[in-house]
C-alpha cells in the first residue's frame, strides 16, 4: 500500500505547500473515480451469487449500491469544476 500511495503522490505532485486548487481537483477526481468501483463490483458479485444460489442477500446489495452512488455523486460534484483531460482519463482506465 505504501508503494501505491507514494506512486500516486508522485504522479499527482502531492506535497505540503505545493498543492494548488487545480492539483487538488485532479487528485480528488481520480480518487472518487476509483472509490466507486469496489462497491459496484461487490454488489454485482453478490447479486450474481444470490441469483445462482436462489438465496436472499438480506439487503446488502442495496447498501453497496448506495455507497457506489455516493461516490459517483462526489465525482459529479468535482467534475462540475474541472473536466479531466486525456491523461487523466487514461490513468483512470489503467487503474
Inside any domain, residue 87: yes
For 87, the domain range is 33-95
Inside any domain, residue 75: yes
Inside any domain, residue 48: yes
Would you state the pLDDT for residue 68?
Answer: 93
Would you state the pLDDT for residue 63?
Answer: 93
Inside any domain, residue 44: yes
32-79 pLDDT, tens digit each: 888 999 999 999 999 999 999 999 988 899 999 999 999 999 999 998
Number of domains the chain is built from: 1
Angle between helical axes of 21-53 and 86-94 (0-180°, round to 10): 40
Three cell numbers at 19?
498543492
Inside any domain, residue 4: no
pTM, two decimals, is: 0.74
Q: How confident is the model over 17-36, as a mean pLDDT? A: 86
Amino acid at each position: 500500500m505504501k508503494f501505491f500511495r507514494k506512486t500516486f503522490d508522485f504522479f499527482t505532485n502531492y506535497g505540503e505547500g505545493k498543492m494548488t486548487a487545480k492539483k487538488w481537483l485532479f487528485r480528488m477526481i481520480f480518487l472518487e473515480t476509483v472509490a466507486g468501483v469496489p462497491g459496484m463490483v461487490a454488489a454485482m458479485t453478490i447479486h450474481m451469487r444470490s441469483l445462482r444460489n436462489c438465496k436472499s442477500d438480506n439487503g446488502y446489495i442495496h447498501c453497496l449500491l448506495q455507497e457506489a452512488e455516493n461516490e459517483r455523486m462526489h465525482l459529479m460534484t468535482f467534475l462540475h469544476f474541472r473536466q479531466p483531460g486525456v491523461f487523466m482519463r487514461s490513468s483512470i482506465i489503467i487503474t
